[in-house]
Structure 1
Amino acid sequence: MARSLQPLVEAELEQSQKDTIITPKVVRAWKDAGLYKAQLPEHLGGDGADNVTYIQIVEEVARQDASAGWVFAVNTSGTRIAGALMERDAFLELLGPNSDGTAGGFANGKPPGTARKVEGGYIVKTEPMPFGSGTEHLTRAATLLFLVDQNEEKVIGEDGNPVVLTGWADVKHVEWLKNWNASGLASTGSGHYLIKEHFLEDKWIATADPSKISPEPIFQQGFWVPTFLTHVGVALGVAKRAIEEVAKVTKGRRRGAVPNLDEYPLFQYEFVRIESEYQAARAFSVQSCQAAWDAAVGGTFTDFHVARLDQANAHLHRVLNDIVSTVRLWSGSAVIPKDAVLARLVADAQVALNHLVADPQQFAKLSPELLARWRDDSLAKSF
């Protein structure tokens, strides 16, 4: 179904770039096609898709346009995170009668806002916060909030640290500052947004009671698995489209003294090399996604499943960098026009590669656990 929407996504590209956010027409088409609820369990109105099926959908949407893939992925993964943190009744209300309600936003790092307890809920407000990818198309926008007392002083918890809450505000209380003017992923609407002061009911604050959280495997993989699935799917889509485009533009193309690039042994070597890298990195990613899902289904999910997916994602982005750099080199003048597919792919890849979860520090963070595993003869070295 995602593949059938490519003509619409491409027809809306120009308007999306002007608006710096994917158009409502594209989002409506995704919802009408059932893509927004593909991962929801069937009894919640979805198709019950597993991790691998989900990244295949994201890969296809991102292959059409990386910004579209990013918005689709953050909207759907954000909804999945909400289902893992939100009381079940509130989550069902979020989904709505068509099961296509969405949640998301930047709820990481230092809390940008405050929540003051009042009867039935909280008075909440935030400063402008960055990375509001796709929030303009959400039902509810997420944020972190310092709990404050009646004097607006931070409430300190038993651990000696300020109490931090996660909340989801109705987007009618959100203001977007429209300050996203990026060199790549330009249509993701990833600029700053703020939540205006308003009353937020208790039910829209993350629960601390596990018995109230949705029990299905999709919601039992925590915060980071949906985050990594977003990045894996988009990176795979960009890599796939880049390889497709260089295969097409080099057919019978002259470059300098080479009359037909696609018959030139050096190009042929480079093409097979990056195609192999794509296939291998994709297989690692798929394996890690499937292992996490199977473990969630079987009740054996651990932090190591998160670590493997983290590793697969970071590795995939190193591969993406190599693929896009190689494609740019061999595409010659085809990459120069600003509105060309190849120019957009190069720009989008560079911005995606700059994301924190694709940073080389991810490898360093994972090193101690992986070193320990390889030193222990009793532990399996792969899933």
Structure 2
Amino acid sequence: MTITAFETQVQVQASHDETAKKWVDIARSLQHVVEEDLVQALKDTVTTPRVVQLWKDAGLYRAQLPVELGGEGIDYVTEILIMEEISRQDTSAGWVYGVSASGTMLSGSLIPREGFLDILGADFNGLACGFANGKPPGTARKVDGGYVLKSEPMPFGSATQHVDRVCCLAVLVDDDDQPIPGDDGQPIVRLMYPSVEHVEWLNNWDASGLASTGSGHYFVKEHVIEDRFVVTDDPSRLYSHPAFRQGFMGPGYMSHVGAALGLAKRFIEEVAKLTVNKRRGLVPVLDEYPLFQYEFVRIEAEYQAARSFALKAYDDAWAAAERGTFTDLHVTRIIQAATHLHRVLETIASTARLWAGSAVIPPDGVLAKLHADAAVLMNHLLIDPQHYPEHAPALLAVWRDDAQPKTF
């Protein structure tokens, strides 16, 4: 019997769904430990080492690596589904997992191979992440075999307490500590991955939401960092695996998407449970009240639609990277979908707050925590709507070209 292309596609999709379910189930099986450690995580202002180690032991970090690097070779959609599940349990935990997982893969697409293998270590559980945006807080002077690196305190060191190497943006300087200009006349900036043995944390994260993400300042003490941990422009550094062929923004937005999906899902779960047989003013049974039912169906639809958009954007980008046809338009779609998802999260949060009634009042209640997490999560620079105009020309061009497909 001849197997058709459609039947092959169905089989591939079924296999993918089964793999995704396996890893999401593994993440869900550790929920009780995440919840048990919430108090300690809030005290430490970062997810506990026990939780991170259990994620490692369960293979949740190695799963994203290509098979040839000791991993399971899962795609970015599956990785986001893991992030979604952990973020549903606790947004801070999801952020810590997501940032360290995506940050590690990002380092593999940027630095020489020997440096990335060094980060992974013998058990392939090594991690890397950190602040890699904004004004470079460090300087680096070239010496034999590497650079003399030092930095000012860097903000937003989410999850860096649990990794092996952190990010540091540094301006290249000469022997007189003067910035070295590039061809455009601007100082040359390099991303580097120093070892945590040279890092000091200020432990100054005191936030209203995402309180246990460890997102305070850290700085790198002066030392010599080897060339293999410095980002280069050499294309030979890249692996052929599609995880390493999607540039900076694809992996960079994964933790945002995963955390927002998990938080939105938890909001909907909570409001569904809180309204069972609940009286609200003159309404005797809230979950049978047509206006509430309308609002619930609306936000559930918005969650499903935004989720499908985000996952489709990543699925298409992955497929294009496999084919060697990845373009800037794939990045545009990822950013568009991620930003839209956060706007939907805002709608879901406000609707949940309205119908939850007095359940939002206790400061240590679930709803109060979810709203605090949402307020901080939606305030991140990368998902600010100001980025929409940057991508409008590319999308306008698609809609003006009759030959271009309008969906993807």
When normalised by structure 1's length, the TM-score is: 0.99
Distance 1:362 1:38 in 2: 32
Question: 1:159 Cα shift?
Answer: 2.3
Distance 1:291 1:185 in 2: 30
Question: 1:215 Cα shift?
Answer: 2.4
* Counterpart in the other structure of 2:196: 171
* Counterpart in the other structure of 2:9: none
String of CA shifts for 1:302-352, please: whole Å, max 9, x gaps: 000010011000110010000011001111111211221111111101111
Task: Indicate if the aligned counterparts of 1:166 and 1:206 stay in contact, CA closer than 8 A.
Answer: yes
String of CA shifts for 1:52-88, please: whole Å, max 9, x gaps: 1011000000000000000100001111110000111
* Counterpart in the other structure of 1:244: 269
Distance 1:81 1:204 in 2: 13
Distance 1:260 1:180 in 2: 42
Distance 2:198 2:286 in 1: 55
1:316 and 2:341 correspond: yes
Distance 1:50 1:134 in 2: 22
* Counterpart in the other structure of 1:339: 364
* Counterpart in the other structure of 1:229: 254
Task: Indicate if the aligned counterparts of 2:174 and 2:180 stay in contact, CA closer than 8 A.
Answer: yes
1:329 aligned counterpart, secondary structure: helix
2:30 aligned counterpart, secondary structure: helix
Structure 1 runs not aligned, ≥5 long: none
String of CA shifts for 1:206-228, please: whole Å, max 9, x gaps: 12211122221100001000111
Task: Indicate if the aligned counterparts of 2:238 and 2:245 stay in contact, CA closer than 8 A.
Answer: no
Task: Indicate if the aligned counterparts of 1:184 and 1:350 stay in contact, CA closer than 8 A.
Answer: yes
Question: 1:254 Cα shift?
Answer: 1.1
* Counterpart in the other structure of 1:8: 33
1:105 to 130, 154, 158: 130
1:2 aligned counterpart, secondary structure: helix
1:116 aligned counterpart, secondary structure: strand
Residue 192 of structure 2 aligns with an amino acid whose one-letter code is G
Q: CA RMSD in A?
A: 0.9
1:130 and 2:188 correspond: no
1:214 to 211, 233, 239: 239
Residue 176 of structure 1 aligns with an amino acid whose one-letter code is W
Distance 1:60 1:95 in 2: 24
Residue 305 of structure 2 aligns with an amino acid whose one-letter code is A
Task: Indicate if the aligned counterparts of 1:87 and 1:214 stay in contact, CA closer than 8 A.
Answer: no
Distance 2:238 2:303 in 1: 37
Matches within 5 A, 1:301-312: 301-312=326-337
Distance 2:192 2:142 in 1: 13
Distance 2:314 2:183 in 1: 36
* Counterpart in the other structure of 2:315: 290
* Counterpart in the other structure of 2:10: none
Q: Size of the alignment, in residue pairs?
A: 383
Distance 1:241 1:339 in 2: 16
1:255 and 2:280 correspond: yes
Distance 1:99 1:297 in 2: 23
